Amino acid sequence: MGVDTYSSTTITPLKYGRQCGITKEMVEDGKWDLLTYNIENIGYVAALNEDVLAIASLAAAATASSQLVATVGATCTVPQITGAIKYLEDAFYGGDSRVLGVSTAVAQDMREIDLFVSADRTGTRDAFTQGLIGNVYNTPVFENPLITANYAYMWVPRFAYAFAEKRPLTVEKRTETQRDWTGACISQRIATGYLYKESVVQIATS
């Protein structure tokens, strides 16, 4: 038996943040809590940013490993999906739980694949009642509009990428008497990086 070896990966968190300020007049005239509303919106944007970072790590891993399942056609096909599964199996990730993240364009392609939507084949009408079958070949499917159009990624969550968080999403109250407003600073220090590039496969359509 061989001896275990270890390598290191450096992930350097970056600071992301926004500031919102509400004047005293806006507080007096507003029909709802404008400050809280703005903070909630910034929190939503921060969550989207985490998705962007994760997708970038998946793209970087797939590029580094050259594990790409492409097609000359304009739509995602069943052989592309099974080809991505084979990539993971060949890299000894076949026994691990995998997921499939798709763009809105690829999701539309999948909804039009008869194999995935025919009730007599799937044994369920979920494709019609819920939009998209939750699992394809025992692989959970997630649609994300932030994924580049005509792209999809299949990966093994345990090995694909990691988040490094030095500061969780933090809200700090701030007041500026000169401008006569009360607001908040929302910041976060976070980064992502891929770990094992062979645990990620990219699917691309033309």
Q: Contact at 8 Å (CB) between 24 and 181?
A: yes
Q: What is the mean pLDDT of the chain?
A: 88
Residues sharing a CB contact under 8 Å with residue 95, sequence separation 6 or more, in sequence order: none
> Does the pLDDT value for residue 50 go beyond 60?
yes
* The pLDDT of residue 72 is above 70: no
Predicted confidence (pLDDT) per residue in 128-171, tens digit:
565 556 788 888 899 999 999 999 999 999 999 999 999 999 99
User: Is 137 in contact with 80 (CB distance < 8 Å)?
Assistant: no
Share of the chain above pLDDT 90, in %: 58
Judge contact between 110 and 76, C-beta under 8 A.
Answer: yes
Burial 118-143 (b: 16+ CB within 10 A, else e): eeeeeeeeebeeeebbeebeebebeb
- pTM for this one? 0.86
CA distance 60 to 48: 18
Query: Looking at residue 198, what is its pLDDT?
Result: 95
- The sheet carrying 151-155 orders its strands as 68-70, 200-204, 151-155, 99-102, 141-143
Q: Which residues pair with 151 in a beta bridge?
A: 204
Tens-place pLDDT, residues 7-40: 888 999 999 999 998 988 888 888 888 889 999 9
